[in-house]
Structure 1
Amino acid sequence: MFGGIIKYSGSVHSIQGNKTDGLVLELETSIVDKVQIGDSVGVDGVCLTVTEIVSNTILKFDIWPESLQRTTLVDLKTSQKVHVDLPLQAQDFIGGHPVLGHVDYTGSILSMSQVDDASQLKIWIDLPEQFSSLIPARGSIAVDGVSLTITGRRDYNFAVSLIPETLRLTHLGELKEGDKVNIEVDFTSRALQDESGMINLANDATTISEKMNSLEAACDTYQKGGLILIQDNESFALCSSADKITDRNLSFALSLSRTPCTVAVTEGLAEKLFIPAPVINTKAEERRFLLPVNHKENSLHDYSTAAMKKSIELFCSEELSIDNWMTPGNINPLQIYGANSSSTPGLPEAAVALCFKTKLPHAAICQSLIDAEGKAMNPQQAIVISTRYQIPIYQVSDLISENSELFEDDYFGDL
């Protein structure tokens, strides 16, 4: 096992053979006095075995066809520079992450660009579908054996950012668009797979905003059907536009929150869709669940993502009304505070506030986060989720204030 912190390099002294029968590589490197025949050495992220010590500067390796099919070593040329890594010893400090030297695929460089106002170089690399669930929005990845942090994630590609020290010690800065690199995913991510795909569920990367301004990013994510985290003191909720949320993000939110699907609705919308009397008789300061509902086209007790998505449409379509729902339901609508409420706005109000800011239908997914013990997630847990899945955290005050026009007396009048 290697650490992915490149301290040595090598130069191809000679390369003989073919990809069908295998290659014999002679590598000129400074680590000759540190290894013996039979030892493992990482060469551009590929674990190879020393078969001969040719001289005090040259090592020999056999590269079998299986390795040639999966790695860039098949294209090695004489004098080409490569990364060289030594296996970790029990007492070694692991500065990167555990790298096995078992390459998963060769990735193509899609683009390379300097990060604005920073000294980092950002590289986007393609991501085949079969490895998509193994590469998170935040996590570790080995690129040509270099341990790097994933700094961007989309459906079919991911990004890493190289600091000047990494550029100095590796050849990654010399890459160009179209070049191939060896990719090894973090092997610990393989333990998070199952056949059903439930454990694989992840935030839809295409809905993650790249805008710098926090409020603009929140609105942009919301308009794309993405997820954000809203914090109110010690409470957290996953929020998204009820109208735009993607199937993947809805499934992910439900699996992560461990609570029924909840839709925050304005007082006006609640009156439109439900029997008015209970709404009118409810004190404005009280937040309460309305009757759980189900779209009439669904079967009873259908909690599939598709069925819940259809029920959510009740709050987003001008053509749907009280005639289109039935009970018992698979989603719980939550009426937010009325316009004349004297109480401080909370999580559902902040979620609905984004509806107004983005001019989307006035309903929002508002999923409270519950841990495995049935308790509300604490800030430390929420931060882990935010970091792992690139879901930004916003305070209620980031999105609305007590004096916001959202709570003016006539704001809900025409809803």
Structure 2
Amino acid sequence: MFTGIVQGVAHVVAVTERPGLRSFELAFPAGFDEGLEIGASVSVDGVCLTVTERKDGHRACFDVMQQSLGLTTLAALREGSPINVERAAKDGAEIGGHPLSGHVDGQGTVLAIRKPENNHVLRIGLPPELMRYVFAKGYIAVNGCSLTAAEVNKREGWLEVWLIPETLRMTTFADKREGDRLNIEIERQTQVFVDTVRDAIDERLGPLLPALQALLAERGVNLDDLARPPQIK
């Protein structure tokens, strides 16, 4: 498990193609890899990877299967690419963000970037199958970083996250540009809540569901809004 609090930026040193997978050698910031052992888990841009080899100079190697390469942004990594990294959380660790599994659900796209004073705003587009789980003030993991969705537009399929200077300093977000792809992991409790409510609605309404959806659409509402989890104040 991870906390979603990125601990630094690593860089790709080498990429090696192997049958059925791709191997990455990463260089970590000083101190990040202290006590890191073979078999340990590291979040790499939000993807949980296993250390397969340790090397001198704060370096380690990881293997990534084709399935993970197809689902995540890791397939686009090249020598020199920067990535967000976090060590696996230890028992009793403070959860400064929200619990993450490191199992990416899909990808989003940077649609626009705004830079108000002392802030940095990313507008991120998501596919419908992920957008249904995103609500204003709810958690979402973007490239392994626990963030809060400040604004959400389900009709247009985007959310906005606001990044403070400290987040920009500790992550790769300052270097992102429009069109860049991002790894997305949705918040699991929200997923369970939304899916449970939608399944209950489907089961009870059956043939009436299309009519309900049309009625809600006339009022600018959809089933995902009805399935919105309660806000904790």
The TM-score bracket by the shorter chain reads: 0.7 to 0.9
Query: Shift of residue 124 of structure 1?
Result: 0.7
Aligned AA (2:120) = L
The 1-side partners of 2:146 and 2:131 are apart by: 18
The 1-side partners of 2:224 and 2:37 are apart by: 52
The answer for the alignment partner of 2:162 in structure 1 is: 161
The answer for the alignment partner of 1:119 in structure 2 is: 118
Query: Shift of residue 55 of structure 1?
Result: 2.1
Structure 1 residue runs without a partner (length 5+): 200-243, 257-380, 388-415
Any idea what SS the aligned residue of 2:12 has? strand
- Asked if residue 196 in structure 1 is aligned to residue 212 in structure 2, the reply is no
The 2-side partners of 1:120 and 1:15 are apart by: 34
Q: Which runs of 4+ in 1 moved over 3 A?
A: 195-199, 249-253
Any idea what SS the aligned residue of 1:42 has? strand
TM-score by length of 2: 0.83
The answer for the alignment partner of 1:273 in structure 2 is: none
The 2-side partners of 1:251 and 1:21 are apart by: 38
Where do 1:152-231 residues align within 5 Å? 152-155=151-154, 156-192=157-193, 193-194=195-196, 195-196=198-199, 198=201
Q: Deviations over 1:191-242 (max 9, x none)?
A: 111353649xxxxxxxxxxxxxxxxxxxxxxxxxxxxxxxxxxxxxxxxxxx
Identity %: 33
The 1-side partners of 2:224 and 2:60 are apart by: 52
The answer for the alignment partner of 2:219 in structure 1 is: 246
Query: Shift of residue 247 of structure 1?
Result: 5.7
The answer for the alignment partner of 2:144 in structure 1 is: 145
Where do 1:46-61 residues align within 5 Å? 46-61=47-62
Query: Shift of residue 28 of structure 1?
Result: 0.9
Gap change, CA 1:247 and 1:78, over 3 Å in 2 = closer
The 2-side partners of 1:151 and 1:251 are apart by: 18
The 2-side partners of 1:251 and 1:91 are apart by: 35
Gap change, CA 1:197 and 1:133, over 3 Å in 2 = farther
The answer for the alignment partner of 2:213 in structure 1 is: none
Aligned AA (1:39) = A
**For the Cα contact (< 8 Å) 1:22–1:64, is it kept in 2?**
yes
The answer for the alignment partner of 2:209 in structure 1 is: none
**For the Cα contact (< 8 Å) 2:27–2:57, is it kept in 1?**
no
The answer for the alignment partner of 1:102 in structure 2 is: 103
Where do 1:279-298 residues align within 5 Å? none
Aligned AA (1:32) = D
Q: Deviations over 1:11-53 (max 9, x none)?
A: 11100117x8210111111333231111100111110000111
Any idea what SS the aligned residue of 2:166 has? helix
TM-score by length of 1: 0.48
Query: Shift of residue 2 of structure 1?
Result: 0.7
Gap change, CA 1:153 and 1:38, over 3 Å in 2 = same
Structure 2 residue runs without a partner (length 5+): 203-216
Query: Shift of residue 132 of structure 1?
Result: 2.0
**For the Cα contact (< 8 Å) 1:32–1:57, is it kept in 2?**
yes
More strand per residue: 1 or 2? Answer: 2
Where do 1:375-390 residues align within 5 Å? 384=231
Query: Shift of residue 83 of structure 1?
Result: 1.0
The 2-side partners of 1:141 and 1:54 are apart by: 33
The answer for the alignment partner of 1:211 in structure 2 is: none
**For the Cα contact (< 8 Å) 1:32–1:53, is it kept in 2?**
no
Q: Deviations over 1:254-284 (max 9, x none)?
A: x89xxxxxxxxxxxxxxxxxxxxxxxxxxxx
Aligned AA (2:112) = S
The answer for the alignment partner of 1:38 in structure 2 is: 39
**For the Cα contact (< 8 Å) 2:9–2:172, is it kept in 1?**
no
Gap change, CA 1:172 and 1:251, over 3 Å in 2 = closer
Query: Shift of residue 164 of structure 1?
Result: 1.0
Aligned residues: 212
Gap change, CA 1:152 and 1:58, over 3 Å in 2 = same
**For the Cα contact (< 8 Å) 2:107–2:181, is it kept in 1?**
yes
**For the Cα contact (< 8 Å) 2:42–2:85, is it kept in 1?**
yes
Any idea what SS the aligned residue of 1:37 has? coil
